[in-house]
Amino acid sequence: MLLRPAAFALQTALVLRTALILLTALAASAAIAEEKPPEEAKVIWKERYCSFFIVQSSWGFTLFEHLNGPWPNDDDVISGKLDGFGTRNVVNKTADNQLTLVYSEISSTSKRWVAKKIPGFCRRKKDLMAQIEQESGKPTPPAGVPAPGAAATPPAASPAASPEASPTPEATPAPAPAQQ
């Protein structure tokens, strides 16, 4: 039996609508199946001056920038999506499940690598790096002393010590070395 054009259009529309509903249901079920439960981590370092903090989870470390909401404290338990890139809400389980808006692009299994990504203007970064060095058992060389195996670099000459800034004429002899 041949369908009239109006009936054919109606039947085609019903088939397309049914197919669209099935595809939407399939996509939604796949998204639900991929959704994993929120991860939990403990705050191990914070610096309110520069708005950054680090959390440690079962798989590694994440550096977060605090954007809005209550500030986490040391040892607070944070729950949510901890790895990956972008802005997200995390839940501070220690502070009555309050939401905190954070931004992250750094996650790693290396505490040292994450700590090196803290911006230089953070006052407590040096303290954290020294703590990590101490935990690893590697000695931290004093400032100005090159690490073993590193090429020594001469200190930068100050403008007052440079010959161009010196008002003494070239005919002046060099001072004799001090005798002991």
Q: In a 10 Å sphere around its CB, with 0-12 CB exposed, 13-18 middle and 19+ buried, how is residue 42 labelled?
A: middle
Closest alpha carbon to 93 in 43, 50, 136: 43
Residues 96-129: pLDDT tens digits? 999 999 999 888 999 999 999 999 999 999 999 9
Residues 53-67: pLDDT tens digits? 999 999 999 999 999
If you average pLDDT over residues 24-49, what whole number do you get?
76
pLDDT band at 136 (very low <50, low <70, confident <90, very high): confident
